[in-house]
Each structure stands twice: as C-alpha cells, then as structure tokens.
Structure 1
Amino acid sequence: MHNKLDAIVSTLASQIKAEHIDYLINHFPEVDDIKYNNQDDVYNEIHQLLSDAKNGNRLKTDIYTIHLVDSSFFFGVSSSANPYFKHEYVKFPAELLSLYNKGGSLDFYESENGTWLSAVAPIRNSIGNTIGLVQADERFDDFISQARSQIYINISVSLLIFIIIIFIMVSALKKILKKEDELSEKLMLSKQQLERKNKEMADSIKYAKRIQESILPIKDNILQSLPQSFILYQPKDIVSGDFYWYKKIENKILIAVVDCTGHGVPGALMSMIGNTLLNDIVTKSKNLNPGEILNQLNKGIVRTLKQKGNNVLSQDGMDIALCEIHLDTLLLKFSGAQRPLYLIREANLIIAKGDSFSIGGTSFDHEKNFQAQQFQLLKDDSIYLFSDGYPDQFGGEKNKKYLIGKFKKYLLSIQDSPMREQETLLRSEFYNWMGDEEQVDDILVIGIKF
C-alpha cells in the first residue's frame, strides 16, 4: 500500500503547479475564503485532479494539499465535495515535518480517527523550493483487508494453475498410452507422435518451473541487503521441492531454506503452499520471532492439508531452517525444524540444532512448539543454511553418501575464499563427488558472511 500511495502523490505533485498553490495561498488569506470547489478556476482545476486520482485508485479517503506556516500545517485544496480551505491540520504526524522537503511514506500512526498509512510528496517551484505537500491516506484496517484478499486470490490462482498443469500432463500421458498398440506397425509415425507428446509434457513441466521460479525471491534483492552471500540452488528435476524464502522488514532480514516432502511436481506443489503461508504469516504479524513463525507455519500446513481428524489423506510436510538477522546490530535469531544452522567463527564450527520434528505431518503425538535461539554475530562470521540434498548425494570411488561430516570439513576448508567463490567451489565439489551417478535429491545451500 505504501508503494501505491507513494506513486499517487508523486504523480500528483508533478502535475500541480507551484505557482497555482502560491496564488491560492496569497489571494485567499483567510480560513474558508473558498467555500465551493467551483468558486475559483485554479482551485477547481486542482480539486478535479485530486478527485480523479482518488476515484481512479479507489481510495476511500480524500487526497489533499497542505502547506507549512512556521511549524503548523494548513489544508489547501482537497478532493472533498466541501472545501476545508486553510483549516489547521491539528495533531499531524510528527514525521511530517522531516518529510516536508523530501516526501516519502509515513509508517503506521494513530490519530483520533484510527490507525493510518500515509504518503506525501513535495510540490516544488522552478528553483526547487517546496511550496506545499500532496498527501494521500489509507486506513490500516482497509490495507489489511486488501492484503488478506490478495493473498487468498494468489493461493487460489496458484493452486488452479498447478491443477491445470497436472491435468494437461495426465491428458498427454493418456494419449501416449493410447497409441502404444500401433507402435509395431507405425514405428516412424509413432516415434514422431511420441516425441511431440513428450515435448508437450516437458513444456508443461517447464511452465510449472516458470511459475515456481516466479515465487522465489529475486537474488539481486537478497544480494543488495546481504552482499557477501550466495545461493546454491540445483533442483533434481525441472521443478523442485526445495525453495528459499526471503523477506526484508525495515532493518531486519528473514531468510529460510525449506525442504518439502518429495521432489518434482509434488514437492513443487508443497513449496507453493509453504511459500504462500510464510508470506501470509509475516504480512499479518511482522514482530514474530522465528520460533513463533514456525509454529504458525505448522498450524497452517496441518489446516491446509487437513491433517487432523480421522480422514487424513496426506502425511506431507517440510523441514526448514529460518533466520532473523538484524542488520544494524548483527543480532541473529534462529529456529529450525529438522534443519540446523552452521556458524563458522575464526575457523571454528558452531552448530545450532533445530527442533527434532518437522512442519506438518501426523506422526507427532502432542502439540509442536518450535524454539528460537539467539546469537550475537561478529564481523567475519559466516553462517550456512542447507537442505539434506548435498550431504545425501551418492558418489565417490565406493558410491557412498557424501555425509554431513565431509560437508562440515569442506566448509571449513574454503573459509578464506569470498562467498561467490565458495558457491563455485561447492558446486564443483558436488559434481566431482557425484561423477556419473544420478542426482538423488534437490540441492539448496545458502551462505552469508558478515
């Protein structure tokens, strides 16, 4: 909503002429000098501009201009049907003074009429001086209602798309099987048909991959907040049951590695559900610690997959390692479901074990309560989050698992390398170990250095 309000006021500020604001302030010096919107052509022109913006963006509250006299603000033109020209803006938000010359968003603030979100943009004259502000507001309750509705729509659309993809794949497979009896007599023709159908199926799965990739965080956004970091992401199939999740809230980073039951299309469907639930949880409650977020995620998975009662159809769930990082203080909070956090400090490996139960599923007898652990990070500390795919890979001379002990030693051996180079080294080590063997699971490793 802040982005929407920012865009509205910035556009309006560029359309309103500063000399028109000056004209109204100087030619109508007293309160309520303008009693009707069409009383003055200049006033009416700006009023129409604000009204069109309010109606076009479906705002429920008026948009208005304000100007500063000493340390007080007074209303100018508004989108209201009844002007309140030069009335004093009583109990305005304190941050408004600091935003007068630069504009920006006003975080949630209380007034006698409720809780609000607002944005302002300066109206500047030809030499760059601020003459006034354009302000647009939205009630916090309206914002939450719209956000919740959008989340439900996104979940519904995502699930519908996956159902359509699966239906297309099943339909394509049925057509291939129907042609099986004709293979001996029409070998060349059937071969062409088979290739075409396989391409259709592959294209459907690739389309599913594009949908899955669209929900993943943009890596450049993560690198902007965490420049010394990498994400090694290598699905076993075209689509993946592993996914990474990221959210920045002011000066706090939430980042997670999630390993869903299975891989391929079933795992990808679980990843879509998990990603949607995580976004919903932090949108509703921005101050939950990682343990509380995992408790909410567990309840959401159990509820979504109907894992309570006598007719349980799904035992699916997910393992997760979730970190909350405060960029200003380097305070780290961690919670895990069957996944650990590795912290390397001065060539020493510190392991923070997660809880010994997964998110979702019905194999746990009593209520799950995920715990949050806290660490004070130091400069040059490195942390690692990972799914079980890397250490579980078969390979080597005896075709055995790589195992977690070898993974720890390799992480310690590459600590002198920059994080981007560590990603390359980890990828090379994995492929050298795997050799000619098949990749057994999705691979996901995140490394961050401070």
Structure 2
Amino acid sequence: MELFSTHRGMISLAVIEDQRPIGLINRNIFLLQMSKPFHRELYDKKSCIAFMDKEPLIVDEDMDIDTLTDKTIEYGEKALTDGFIVTRGNRFIGLGNGLSLMRAVAGIQAEKNRQIMQSIEYASVIQRAMLRGPSEALAAAASDCALVWEPRDVVGGDFYHFSVHENGWFGAVADCTGHGVPGAFMTLIASSALTKAIEQLGPREPAALLAAVNRSVKTLLSQARDSVCTPQSDDGLDAAFFWFDAQRRELRFAGARIAMHILKPDQAQLDVLPGQRKGVGYIDSPAEHAWTQSTVELPEGSLLFVATDGLTDQIGGPRQIAFGKRRAADIILAHRSEPAARICETLRQALAQWQDAGREPQRRRDDLTLFFARI
C-alpha cells in the first residue's frame, strides 16, 4: 500500500522470490480490495501473494518487439493493462508497460509505412517516366488528342503505348490485373512484352501483337495449362491494340475485353468495335489463342475513344450505381464538336461529380485511363 501511495504512476508491482518473478499485482485491483470496509482487519496480516496474478506475462529482455507484441495480444487485455515482467536469465530486471509497448509498435509501424510510401512514390516517378515517351508519341501522331491516366493509388495497373511509324501510328490502352503495387508490376511485364512484340512483328497487326503478348505473359508468369508446376498466379490484362494507316485512313483494331468507340462526322451515334471476351495472359487464355481483327475506314474528323473500366464501373450518383457506358456516350455526343482535350476533361469532371453525388462521396474503385483522338 505504501509503494502504490508513494509512486502514483505505478501501474503494477512485481512479486519476487529469490530474484525470480512469481506474480504481478495490479494497482487498481489492489486498491479496490483495500477500499472495502474493515480492510485492515481482513488484509493487514495477509501475504501480498493474495493479491497477485500468478500467471503474468514474463518475457526475456532479448525478445524482439514483434514477438513481444504477439505474446501481449495472446495474453489479452490484462497484459496491456497490467504490463509484463522482463527477465534476464529468468531473473527479474524490470517491468514493461502495455501503453509504452503500443507507442513503440506505433512508432516502428509509422517508420515502416514512411519507408514503404517513399518506395512507392519513387516507383510512381519510374512508372510516369515510362509513360512519358508514349504520350509524347501520341501528341506527334495526332494534333487533336487527349489522354488521362489516373491510378487509384500512387502507382497503377493501367498503361498505354503509342508509337509513330512510317505511314501511321500504333496505340494501345491496357488494364492489368490489380492496382497499386501489384498492378504496377504487371504494367512493367506487359509493357515490356508489347515493346518486344512490336520490334519482332511490327505495329500493323494488332491481333498478332495481342497473341504475342499473351504468350509472353503466360511464359513469364508460368501460367500455361500444361505447366508441370501449379501456376502461382492467374494474372494478365485487358487491352485495346490499334493501328491507324494515315495514307489509307484505315483503322485496324483488336481488343481483349476493351472496346474501341468511333464517332464519325456524319453519324448520330458511336460505333463500337467490341473487344473479345478473352483476357491476355490469364490461365484460361490458351497460349495459341487468336484474337479477331477489325478494319474500318475513317473519314476525316472521326473521333476515337477508348477507356478502361475505371470509368464505367465507378459507383456514384444519387442511387449509388455504376457510371455506365450510356452516360459516357451521352457526354461525348453532347460535346462532339469540341476539341478532344475539352471532351476528355468534361468526361473526367462528370466522373468526379458522379463520385460525390450520393449521400457519401465514393472512393475511386479502380485505375482510370481515357484516350481521345480526332483524326
């Protein structure tokens, strides 16, 4: 009683026998007992053992903090409120405080998070640098064009590729499995596979390029059905690959679950070149799968539009439903006479307003890529 009265901040008191801890007395429990009527008559001649927890958490001074945290959680609430006993060679050397432990864990976790975020932010610099070249190529290929790339997190799983060649230019918009760091890793794999395929096959056959990327991703991730080992992942991408022949004014398109939308000057509605319902690289995509290729002649002033599903699948609005394809098409048609950059920005703003239109603002569900070009 005297020790607790003298040391107001003392939460618990260890009971020691021959330098070895045998129990722990909780301050609040002890004072509650001593506050009862006739406490002196009842307790003055009792041993302190009557008040102690006989099975406190006892840890060695060399125990690492992760193991200590697990042990504390395993012991439950009493280890946090009472604290724990610290020993060296089974001999008592001090007490640990549950609150201090939580502060230490929080500090370590904050430092880990800071280091992780620094790494992710630098990865974002690398990813954006990788995409800078293709965006510059698009600007050189089409004077009236626009491109929005917005990852849901700091880095993302969408990527695009544009390159200028003799008599035309090639474009690709792709949505890889996942978002954040896993999605960003997939963009590196898929983008490298596409660059290699263009070097080997040229840019003029989008369907052949989809097939080549499919084989490459399946090989890199060991996702072939006849693989000796069980595949460790089922990852891939949805993609729209297209080649525009500037001399013939001819568009060749092949898609894997991403469509190309075309608005010709003399038409009241968007034409849709659908993507096939077969993704690139996944386990259920055969290594020799052949995508179909569409060819369309485009009159001057035609508008091309491609978007990943971060646009159409975004939940929002008063009824908290998906943004949808029809809503996007109506916005494009309403602003069809404006420059591509203005149409793109209007659509992006409409999506942002859709996210905030309900009772509670909706978090972005996925990465977003929008591509417009008037050719």
Which residue pairs with 1:256 in the alignment? 172
In 2, distance between residues paired with 1:290 and 1:314? 26
Q: CA RMSD in A?
A: 2.2
Aligned-partner SS, 1:444: strand
Q: Describe the shift of the 1:177–1:401 C-alpha distance in structure 2 as closer, same or farther (beyond 3 A).
A: farther
Q: Describe the shift of the 1:287–1:200 C-alpha distance in structure 2 as closer, same or farther (beyond 3 A).
A: closer
Contact in 1 for aligned 2:214/2:287 (Cα 8 Å): no
Query: Which amino acid in the other structure matches residue 370 of structure 2?
Result: V
Contact in 1 for aligned 2:257/2:279 (Cα 8 Å): yes
In 2, distance between residues paired with 1:242 and 1:286? 23
Contact in 2 for aligned 1:217/1:245 (Cα 8 Å): no
In 2, distance between residues paired with 1:423 and 1:204? 31
* Offset, 1:195: 3.4
**Given the alignment, which residue of 277, 280, 294 partners 2:196?**
280
Structure 1 unaligned residues grouped into runs of 5+ = 1-174
Which residue pairs with 1:197 in the alignment? 112
Q: Describe the shift of the 1:255–1:288 C-alpha distance in structure 2 as closer, same or farther (beyond 3 A).
A: closer
Q: Describe the shift of the 1:279–1:364 C-alpha distance in structure 2 as closer, same or farther (beyond 3 A).
A: closer
* Offset, 1:441: 0.4
1:342 equivalent to 2:257? Answer no
In 1, distance between residues paired with 2:282 and 2:180? 19
Q: How does 1:354-373 map to 2 (within 5 A)?
A: 354-364=275-285, 367-373=288-294
- Larger Cα-atom Rg: 2
Query: Which amino acid in the other structure matches residue 307 of structure 2?
Result: F
Aligned identity (percent) is 24
* Offset, 1:366: 8.1
**Given the alignment, which residue of 129, 140, 159 partners 1:224?**
140
Which residue pairs with 1:97 in the alignment? none
In 2, distance between residues paired with 1:444 and 1:438? 17
Q: Describe the shift of the 1:380–1:195 C-alpha distance in structure 2 as closer, same or farther (beyond 3 A).
A: same
Which residue pairs with 1:212 in the alignment? 127
Contact in 1 for aligned 2:255/2:291 (Cα 8 Å): yes
Aligned-partner SS, 2:345: helix
- In the superposition, the TM-score normalised over structure 1's length comes to 0.58
**Given the alignment, which residue of 176, 180, 184 partners 1:268?**
184
Query: Which amino acid in the other structure matches residue 219 of structure 2?
Result: R
Higher normalized contact order (CA 8 Å, seq sep 6+, divided by chain length): 2
**Given the alignment, which residue of 222, 245, 250 partners 1:326?**
245
Query: Which amino acid in the other structure matches residue 343 of structure 1?
Result: I
1:445 equivalent to 2:360? Answer no
In 2, distance between residues paired with 1:191 and 1:312? 37
Aligned-partner SS, 2:311: coil
Q: How does 1:36-185 map to 2 (within 5 A)?
A: 184-185=99-100
In 2, distance between residues paired with 1:245 and 1:412? 26
Aligned-partner SS, 2:100: coil
Query: Which amino acid in the other structure matches residue 283 of structure 1?
Result: E
Q: Describe the shift of the 1:312–1:420 C-alpha distance in structure 2 as closer, same or farther (beyond 3 A).
A: same
- In the superposition, the TM-score normalised over structure 2's length comes to 0.69
Query: Which amino acid in the other structure matches residue 391 of structure 1?
Result: T
Aligned-partner SS, 2:148: strand
Contact in 1 for aligned 2:158/2:176 (Cα 8 Å): yes
In 1, distance between residues paired with 2:248 and 2:218? 35
* Offset, 1:272: 0.3
In 2, distance between residues paired with 1:224 and 1:202? 35
Aligned-partner SS, 1:406: helix
Which residue pairs with 1:313 in the alignment? 232
Contact in 2 for aligned 1:217/1:246 (Cα 8 Å): no
In 2, distance between residues paired with 1:395 and 1:281? 39
Aligned length: 276
Query: Which amino acid in the other structure matches residue 244 of structure 2?
Result: I
**Given the alignment, which residue of 354, 359, 363 partners 1:433?**
354
Which residue pairs with 2:45 in the alignment? none
